[in-house]
Every structure is written in C-alpha cells, then in structure tokens.
C-alpha cells in the first residue's frame, strides 16, 4: 500500500502500486483446469474469493485522514 499527502495541493491519495492488488481486493474469475507454472498447479475453482486489505485499511484510518484534511483546510482558509 502506498499513500501520499500533498499539502500544497490540498489532497491525499491512498492506493496500491502493484497490478495484482485489485483481483486480490475484489476477487476474480479464473479458468479451472488451466496450469499455472508459477504455482506448479492446475486451477480448481472458477472464482477466487475477495481478500480485502486496502478497503479495511482505509476505513481504519479514515478519521485520521479527515482530521488532517480539516486541519489543512483551516490553515489554508482561516476565518476572520
């Protein structure tokens, strides 16, 4: 997982930089019987269940992101 916070531009990003993350996060289909050399096995199931990791991490730190954003907005747009 990667994250960036850009104070000057007033936004935050959280995401992943690996191509296999979306299929792991949301699940995916596959062809049963197809041989996969990397694991040296034939695939058995037609569907692989989701194993979310990014969504739970975001939800866990959502309040932290919100507080940081509010602090930045107050700093950028002071009242008065």
pLDDT band at 24 (very low <50, low <70, confident <90, very high): very high
Other C-beta atoms closer than 10 Å to the C-beta of 65 total: 14
Q: Where are the domains of the chain?
A: 2-76
Q: Which residue has the higher pLDDT, 3 or 33?
A: 33
**pLDDT tens digits for 26-80?**
999 999 999 999 999 999 999 999 999 988 988 888 888 889 888 888 888 888 6
Quick check: 32 and 43 in contact, CB under 8 A? Answer: yes
Integer Cα distance of 7 and 37 in angstroms: 45
Its pTM stands at 0.59
Neighbours of 67 (CB within 10 A): 10
The C-alpha atoms of residue 64 and residue 67 are separated, in whole angstroms, by 5
Q: What Rg do the C-alpha atoms of the chain give, in angstroms?
A: 20
Q: What pLDDT, on a 0 to 100 scale, did the predictor assign at position 11?
A: 61
């Amino acid at each position: 997982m990667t994250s960036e916070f850009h104070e000057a531009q007033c936004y935050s990003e959280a995401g992943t930089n690996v191509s296999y993350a979306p299929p792991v996060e949301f699940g995916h289909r596959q062809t049963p019987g197809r041989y996969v050399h990397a694991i040296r096995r034939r695939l058995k199931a037609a569907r692989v269940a989701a194993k979310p990791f990014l969504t739970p991490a975001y939800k866990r730190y959502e309040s932290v992101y919100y507080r940081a954003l509010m602090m930045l907005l107050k700093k950028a747009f002071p009242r008065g």
